[in-house]
Amino acid sequence: MTDTATNSIRVYERDEVVRLKLLVNDASGVSRIEIRFRNDSNTSVKGVHHSVEVPGETDAEVLVEIEPDELKPGDYVCEYIALYDLEDNRSLIVNPGIEFRVEGDEEEVRGPELRKWSFA
């Protein structure tokens, strides 16, 4: 894992686990965190969604881990983080600015190519 000097995007190799630490709090207690990333590469529309249960702590440090088999090479952008409290109230943070890149040859994981289509 490396940080690029130009724009501080964290870079991971294909076999590395992506770990993201979130510090959250709520007076009634935090119950769940959901986070979604999309792959912004031209060859993939893969999204990654994770949900982490939190045992009702008012102040919590939550570790989100994304396993390598869930990630194709490319640039990932966080679409949202949803935070739920014990009363099922939700805070939604859209486009929080979390980005990372997974290195690798996109050609190795590319599927079939659509060459042409038409209405029948």
| Range with the poorest average pLDDT among 6-20, 76-90, 104-118 | 104-118
With beta carbons less than 8 A apart as the criterion, state whether 54 and 85 touch. no
pTM above 0.75, yes or no: yes
Q: Which option is the CATH number for 2-106: 3.40.640.10, 3.40.50.920, 3.10.129.10, 2.70.50.60?
A: 2.70.50.60
The domain locations on the chain are 2-106
Residue-wise pLDDT for 87-98, tens only, equals 999 999 999 999
With beta carbons less than 8 A apart as the criterion, state whether 31 and 86 touch. yes
How does 15-27 read in b/e, with b if 16+ C-beta sit within 10 Å? eeebebebebebe
Residue-wise pLDDT for 36-59, tens only, equals 999 987 666 678 999 999 999 999
